[in-house]
Amino acid sequence: MHPKVLSRLIASLLLTWTLGFVMVNGQSTTQPSLAQITSALASGSGSTSLGSALAEAGSTLESIISDTIAQLARWTTLILFPERYYSYGRSPAVYPSPQGQGSGDWSQAYSQAKALVAQMTVQEKANITLGSSETHDCSGFTGSVPRLGFPGMCLNDAESGVRTASKVNGYPAQLHIGASWNRSLAYDRALHLGQEFKTKGVNVLLGPVAGPLGRIATGGRNWEGFSNDPYLAGSLIAPTISGMQKSVIACVKHFIANEQETNRSPFLQGFLGGLINLNNSVSSNVDDRTMHELYLWPFYDAVKAGAGNVRGTLADIYSDTLVTNVASRCKNTMVIIHSAGIRLVDRWIDHPNITAVIYANLPGQYSGTSLTEIIYGRSSPSGRLPFTVAKNESDYGSLLRPALPDRINPQYSQSDFTEGLFIDYKRFVQQNVTPRFAFGYGLTYSNFSYSGLQMSANGSAVTSSSPPGTVAGIAAEGGTTSLYDIIATVSIAVKNTGNVATAEVAQLYLGIPGSGVPKVLRGFEKQLIQPGASVNMTFSLRRRDMSIWDVVRQQWVLPSGAYNIMVGKSVLDIQLQGTLTL
């Protein structure tokens, strides 16, 4: 018999013998040592190979026992003290917390705040930090310090209107604005939202939403964000911050990688709270590059826009049968989809009696008015999908549904972001999966032609690998200032070849050398074009747009080489292509 096999066999026998000894001699106050057991078994054997095997078996057994004790300790901590097990000791602590600098536009506010806080007692500081049990009809209310004339602050939901208040407007959800691909609309909506919140006595508007970005196709809160593409989300969150903060403080949420709602409030928590701690949390396990290039991206734009606050961290079945039943009885069936995110249509889209489909999303209180304008042809639609609509649920792979508890982690779900950067259209392109409707897709009542692609590098821009001005310490809002330098410019001509005046959304996608990602959205322009008219559209590419995150150097790096430039009507409908070399 091979010595390794023999040693493992004897180790098993030793473990069985030891357990048997403890069971049979349960009243004994002493337990034989491993050396005694080995010696007893080896005595009289006269076999050198057996003796060696026994010695190795003793070592193996000791390792088994040590591992078993460690596992028992782990399971004991996990079951009895789950918060200690999951929440502590997994990331290095950073003490003390870094002090805010209060530079630039924040200097006066910091000066006033420091002067006020310096006059507070420890109890008063704790009071305004912990919040008040008296909400004053707000979603939340800080404590007050009447002695110093500080009345407290009202924080209120949400990004679509003043929650729990009367005589207020119901605004389109962020997803709806994302489908518009319209920066000026995002600003106008936010401006009026902020004014209404201020009128109702709110100081902090709990929005806009930058997370969830929309990693999970069936994510129940994806409708709260603009899009699952970070560039589109960031491009719309910046004007939203600017509009809101004309009147109130914007609170960007939810930081960070808050990509599922499942198990946030387990159903049995209230019944088993005294017996089992069903903690309301999910661990999002994300690699460094994915964190920066995907989930942190829109937060960069929010902070650069001057966001005053950052907050840490419902899919519907929708009647397919209903659509089929109606279509079978009506030869001109138009399907209008109001959903909180992605809705698949392949079960009925090819029905001969279905003549139109409108992804109406969540348009707010003027839903009916706006839809009739489109249906009766008084206004042309011009929206674009802010997500990918697949043909089958399986096309989303592991990103279809949220993570659930398992045998190893029964209380804290572990959501492993192993797909990295490849969510939504990036995954479809990578896997060569054809969707039903591509990211960026949308129809109008007209047609457009694209021509005249021109690309030029900014001759005065510094194209070094590292961003100029990078220094140790606290960076400016939104990161090192040079990340927003214009490195290159792309321009095209778009002509309305139809008979209806409508807006066209031209989209710029980049293939960044060395990134491993074939296409990423890095620009879009939307303009109203009259029939027969032609307009020029220009896309400015910033250093951050053309960079990748270097996990070793811990900074944005601008690669040298050939950048693939692709301009089109959607991620799959590319009209013009070229190459720009840095």
Residue 212 has pLDDT above 90, yes or no: yes
C-alpha span between 355 and 435 (Å, rounded): 20
Residues 296 and 388 both lie in one domain: no
Helix (H) or strand (E) holding 241: helix 230-244
Same domain, 291 and 329: no
Place of tokens 């009696």: 353
Q: pLDDT (tens digit, 9 = 90+) per residue, 24-73?
A: 333 444 455 555 555 555 554 444 555 665 566 667 777 778 788 877 87
Candidate from 12-16, 408-412, 425-429 with smallest mean pLDDT: 12-16
Whether residue 21 is predicted with pLDDT greater than 50 in this model: the reply is no
AA identity, residue 325: N
pLDDT confidence of residue 266 = 57
Model confidence at 124: pLDDT above 60:
yes
Does residue 471 belong to any structural domain of this protein? yes
Are 351 and 146 in contact by the 8 Å Cβ rule? The answer is no
Residues 6 or more apart whose CB falls under 8 angstroms from that of 67 comprise: none
CA 442 to CA 389: how far, in whole Å? Answer: 12
The 8-class DSSP code of residue 45 comes to T
Range name among 100-109, 486-495, 514-523, 556-565 with the lowest pLDDT average: 100-109
Give the mean pLDDT of 476-492.
93
User: Whole-prediction pTM value?
Assistant: 0.84
Q: Specify if 204 maps to a domain.
A: yes
Taking CA 15 as the corner, what is the angle to CA 14 and CA 21, rounded to the nearest 5 degrees? Answer: 85
Give the helix/strand (H/E) hosting 507.
strand 502-511
**Residue 74 shares a structural domain with residue 42:** yes
What is the model's pLDDT at position 406?
81
Residues 341 and 479 in one domain: no
pLDDT band at 576 (very low <50, low <70, confident <90, very high): very high
CATH of the domain at 419: 3.40.50.1700
Neighbours of 547 (CB within 10 A): 22
CA dihedral 370, 180, 215, 245 (to 10 degrees): -100
pLDDT at 435 over 70: yes
141 and 289, same structural domain? Answer: yes
**Which segment of 93-102, 170-179, 486-495, 496-505 scores lowest on mean pLDDT?**
93-102
Are residues 362 and 226 both part of a single domain? no
Judgement on whether residues 289 and 355 belong to the same structural domain of the protein: no
Tell me whether residue 103 is in a domain: no
Task: Please report which helix (H) or strand (E) contains residue 14, including its range.
Answer: helix 3-24
Q: Is the pLDDT of residue 350 over 70?
A: yes
Q: What is the mean pLDDT of residues 236-249?
A: 96
Which of 284, 312, 340 delimits the end of a domain?
312
Mean pLDDT along residues 166-171: 92
β-partners of residue 415 are: 284
Instruction: Using the predicted structure, report yes or no on whether residue 431 has a pLDDT greater than 90.
Output: yes
Whether 118 and 124 have beta carbons less than 8 Å apart is answered as no
pLDDT-based confidence at 471, cuts 50/70/90?
low
pLDDT in tens, 310-331: 877 644 747 688 899 899 989 9
CB 417 within 8 A of CB 257: yes
Confidence (pLDDT) at 159: 81
Say if 133 falls within a structural domain: yes
Residue 457 three-state SS:
strand
Q: Which comes out higher in pLDDT, residue 320 or 509?
A: 509
State which amino acid sits at residue 348.
W
Distance CA(323)–CA(303), nearest Å, equals 44
Q: Are residues 217 and 293 in the same domain?
A: yes
pLDDT exceeds cutoff 60 at 222:
yes
Which pLDDT does position 103 carry in this prediction?
77
Say if residue 142 is exposed, middle or buried (CB neighbours under 10 Å; 0-12, 13-18, 19+).
buried
DSSP characters for 183-238?
HHHHHHHHHHHHHHHHHTT-SEE---B------STT-TTGGGSS-SSHHHHHHHHH
The answer to the question of residue 15 being in a domain is yes
pLDDT value for 521: 98
Provide the mean pLDDT of the chain.
86
Q: Are residues 190 and 151 in the same domain?
A: yes
Question: Is it true that the peptide bond before 276 is cis, omega within 30 degrees of 0?
Answer: no
173 DSSP assignment: P
Q: What is the domain-level CATH number for residue 140?
A: 3.20.20.300
Bridge partners of residue 416, in order along the sequence: 285
DSSP assignment, residue 471? -
Q: Residue 325: which of 347, 297, 300 has the closest Cα?
A: 347
Q: Which pLDDT score is estimated for 134?
A: 83
* Structural domain boundaries enclosing 513: 448-581
Picking from 50, 80, 110, the residue at the C-terminal end of a domain is 80
Among 553, 102, 78, 58, which Cα is nearest to 289's? Answer: 553
Q: Is the pLDDT of residue 284 over 50?
A: yes
Parallel, antiparallel, or unpaired for β 249-255 and 282-285?
Answer: unpaired
In a shared domain, residues 307 and 325: no
Whether 371 is in a domain gets the answer yes
Q: 273: helix, coil or strand?
A: coil
Residue 269 near residue 444 (C-beta atoms within 8 A): no
Cα 231 to the chain's mean position, in Å? 12
Instruction: From 312, 337, 359, give the residue that closes a domain.
Output: 312
Total domains in the fold of the chain: 4
Residues 222 and 270 in one domain: yes
Domain contains 442? no
- Per-residue confidence band for 135, with pLDDT thresholds at 50, 70 and 90: confident
CA dist., res. 66 & res. 41, Å (int): 22
Please check whether residue 95 lies inside any domain of the structure.
no
Specify whether 388 is located in the same domain as 295: no
